[in-house]
Structure 1
Amino acid sequence: MRIATSQIYASSLSTMENQQSQLLAVQQQISTGVAISNPADNPLGAAQAVQLSATSANLTQYTTNQNMALSSLQLEDSTLSSVTTTLQSMSQQIQSAVNGSLNDSDRQALAKQLEGERNQLLTLANTTDGQGNYLFSGFQSTSQVFTNQSGGGVTYNGDLGQRTVQVAGSRQIAISDTGAAVFMSVSSVGTSAVAAGNSGNSGTGTISAVTVTDPTQATNGHNLSIQFDDSTGSLTYTVQDNSTTPPSVLSQDQPYTDGSPIDLGSGMNVTISGTPVKGDQFSVTPATASQNTSVFSSIDAVISALQTSATGNPSATANLQNALQAGLTQIGNSTSNVITTQASVGGREQEVKALQSVTSTNSLQITSNLDDLVSTDTVSAITQYEQISNALTASQKSFATTQQLSLFQYINP
């Protein structure tokens, strides 16, 4: 078989060009430290690199979301701590007025002090995150959460939405609680029924807080009333459950004894002291009843009671004591609700911190895997470079020698 000189030249040139190309590619890997600069270098590795890069980007976004969620939860946690402290301080001050040792002037001063703390509580309820977003307004993050009503009380301007953030592939976490849930409602669990006296009572009867005598029977869902009468010739009372239609009588015309417990028929009792008169009424309502749930309404009722003159008027003094006792229970229930919410916030904080640790570990692993895949193995690349360089040198020398192979060199002149 005869091989033309041109074929030898073309084959040698192709081999050297291929080796030169390989040499430049390896040289680029060494200089840049990148083993895969385009998909053609390693199609399978390039596909894996794209997948790892996407995973890394997701983890980076989750890290950002987790940091934001934790910051928001920590701000809410701190705010709720301040709310709890304020409510507990108000309860202590109201308790100081329950014993009846304060005169009208003292109660007026206490009412002013409570007004200041109420304003402080309203400021806390309207806390923002520093960027103009209100913590407790639900999805209405730019709307002021609470505004004072002209006739007393507050208006809630938010909604019932709970803002969430994606903190992991399959986990969204709530980063806020609504003002309605924190300041305008309470749970029936862990709270006390509210005992109160009718503001129109003309006797001197005062009602105590509810005492649970049988936890297995006690409920916090019945609207009970205690009515006094003297038609039998002596003072009696009737306990009635107004939660049913028609109302059901639990006990009727029971003789009244000052300071003796009154059985409410549901594992609870109260004590009424003093001397009620015919027509006086007392109530025991669930903690979740609408009139008992707004902490601002409870505080306003206490302030109004303290501003009403009672010195020298036994009936007015008794009504004041009943109003203060009811306010204490209501504010205590609201405090329990805030503490429960804060516990939930703390649990979410711990979850986010745990996710931060997991995400950080996964990010480091993905980064390491991606680096191993696309980064140049310098030792291996240099070895390969030397091998290709030596092969190219051999090819060049072989081609130079081949050029000299001709029959004409052996013809003597």
Structure 2
Amino acid sequence: MRISSAEYFSMNVATMSNQQAQLSQIYQEISSGSSLTTPADNPLGAAQAVQLSSTATALSQYTTNQSAALSSLQAEDSTLSSVLSTLQSVNTQAIRASDGSLNDADRTAIAAQLTSLRDQLLTYANSTDSAGNSLFSGFQNSAQAFTTNASGAVVYSGDTGTRMVQVTGSNQVATGDNGQAVFMSVGAANAEPIASGNSANTGTGVIGAVTVNDPTNVANADSYQIAFSGSGSTLAYTITDTTTGVAGTPQTYTAGSDITMAGQTVAITGTPAAGDNFTVQPAKQAGTDVFANLNAMISALQQPVTGNTAATANLQNALNTGMSQLSNTLSNVTAIQASVGGREQEVQALQTVTQTNSTQTQSDLSDLTSTDLVSTISKYTMQQAALQASQQAFVQIQNMSLFQYINN
């Protein structure tokens, strides 16, 4: 088989051009540090690289979301600690106000301290996070959560929404709690019933805290009224279930003895007058707004009672009611703070997992797309040697001609 000179030259030029192209591609891998310049270099590897890049982007966003969520939760946790401290101070002042040796001026001073603590609590309720978003206004994060109206009542201006953040592909975390749940509600569990006296009572009866002896009794969810009639040895009380409208039979009153309603008991001390009445209500029906409850105690303490036994009894009833409501609020805020702490731990655990996954994804992506310099440089050297050999062989074969021998 004969090979023409033109065909021979064409074959050698094509071979060397192909080797030059391969050498150029290897050099590009070395200079760019990437072994995947185009999908044609490695179609399967390119598809895997796209998937890994997408995963890395998602993990990066989850990392950002986790940091933002943790920051908000830490801000709420810190604020709730301050709220609890303030509520404990309120409780201390309320107990102090119950001291019978105090005079009207002393109680007025305590009312002023409670007013200051209420304002401090309002400041905490309007706290914001590092981004300036309201912690307790629900979805209305740019609005102030609580305002005070013309009558001095504190009004919630937010909503009942709970902001959620996607922290992994399958996990969302609540980054806050709305003000309605924190400052104007009581917990679904462990909220004690509230006993209170009618402010129009004229006797010296004082009702204490309610004791729940049988939590399973469904009638504990009803409201009750204890109404007094008679006087002296005929002084009696009648219990009416105001939820169902069923009234019991009159019972002789003995100061300090337990009065039973469903699965709960309460004691009344002193001597109520005929027409006096007291109520026992489930916590959620007896006033759950901590600011309104504080205002009621402040108002009661501002009323002079010295020398008036009925007024003194009404004041003590108001303080007892306020302290029971405050106890429920403390339990509620404590439970919410515990929930916030649990969410903080969850986010921190997810941060560790996400960081590990992100590191592994970046490593896999690097292994797939980064140039192995040792191997690639070795390949480059071999390809360069092959090209040089082809060039030298072409030169030698090019010199093989019969005219050289004729001339000689």
| CA distance in 2 between partners of 1:176 and 1:55 (Å) | 28
The farther-off stretch of 294-303 and 97-106 is 97-106
Aligned residue for 2:225, secondary structure, equals strand
The farther-off stretch of 389-398 and 69-78 is 389-398
Cα shift at 1:95: 0.8
Residue-pair matches, total: 408
2:328 matches 1:330:
no
The farther-off stretch of 328-337 and 97-106 is 97-106
Q: Map of 1:3-402 to 2, 5 A cutoff?
A: 3-217=3-217, 220-230=220-230, 234-244=234-244, 247-249=245-247, 251-264=248-261, 266-289=262-285, 291-402=286-397
Instruction: In structure 2, give the amino acid aligned to 1:35.
Output: S
Which of 390, 401, 409 is matched with 2:404 structurally? 409
State TM-score, norm by structure 2.
0.97
Change (3 A) 1:133 1:334: same
Change (3 A) 1:294 1:312: same
Check the 8 A contact 1:225/1:282 in 2, yes or no. Answer: yes
| CA distance in 2 between partners of 1:84 and 1:221 (Å) | 28
Cα shift at 1:220: 4.9
| CA distance in 2 between partners of 1:260 and 1:188 (Å) | 30
Map Cα deviations across residues 339-373 of structure 1 (whole Å, 9 max, x no partner): 11111111110110010000000000001001101
Check the 8 A contact 1:212/1:218 in 2, yes or no. Answer: no
Check the 8 A contact 2:231/2:273 in 1, yes or no. Answer: no
Runs of 4+ in 1 over 6 A off after TM superposition: none
| CA distance in 1 between partners of 2:186 and 2:215 (Å) | 19
| CA distance in 1 between partners of 2:382 and 2:43 (Å) | 24
Cα shift at 1:215: 3.5
| CA distance in 2 between partners of 1:233 and 1:86 (Å) | 46
Check the 8 A contact 2:36/2:46 in 1, yes or no. Answer: yes
Aligned residue for 1:135, secondary structure, equals coil
Aligned residue for 1:288, secondary structure, equals helix
Cα shift at 1:38: 1.8
| CA distance in 1 between partners of 2:292 and 2:79 (Å) | 20
Check the 8 A contact 2:220/2:264 in 1, yes or no. Answer: no
Aligned residue for 1:252, secondary structure, equals coil
| CA distance in 2 between partners of 1:218 and 1:98 (Å) | 33
Check the 8 A contact 2:197/2:277 in 1, yes or no. Answer: yes
| CA distance in 2 between partners of 1:302 and 1:103 (Å) | 16
Cα shift at 1:14: 0.8
Aligned residue for 1:189, secondary structure, equals coil
The RMSD of aligned alpha carbons is 1.5
| CA distance in 1 between partners of 2:407 and 2:290 (Å) | 121
Instruction: In structure 2, give the amino acid aligned to 1:304.
Output: S
Instruction: In structure 2, give the amino acid aligned to 1:288.
Output: K
- Runs (5+) with no aligned partner, structure 2: none
State TM-score, norm by structure 1.
0.96
| CA distance in 2 between partners of 1:43 and 1:258 (Å) | 91
Check the 8 A contact 2:163/2:174 in 1, yes or no. Answer: yes
Check the 8 A contact 2:186/2:284 in 1, yes or no. Answer: yes
Change (3 A) 1:232 1:93: closer
Map Cα deviations across residues 280-320 of structure 1 (whole Å, 9 max, x no partner): 0000011011x411000000000000001110000000000
**Percent of residue pairs bearing the same amino acid type:** 55
Cα shift at 1:118: 0.3
The farther-off stretch of 323-332 and 31-40 is 31-40
The farther-off stretch of 83-92 and 213-222 is 213-222
Aligned residue for 2:165, secondary structure, equals strand
Instruction: In structure 1, give the amino acid aligned to 2:228.
Output: F
| CA distance in 1 between partners of 2:74 and 2:346 (Å) | 13
| CA distance in 2 between partners of 1:95 and 1:322 (Å) | 12
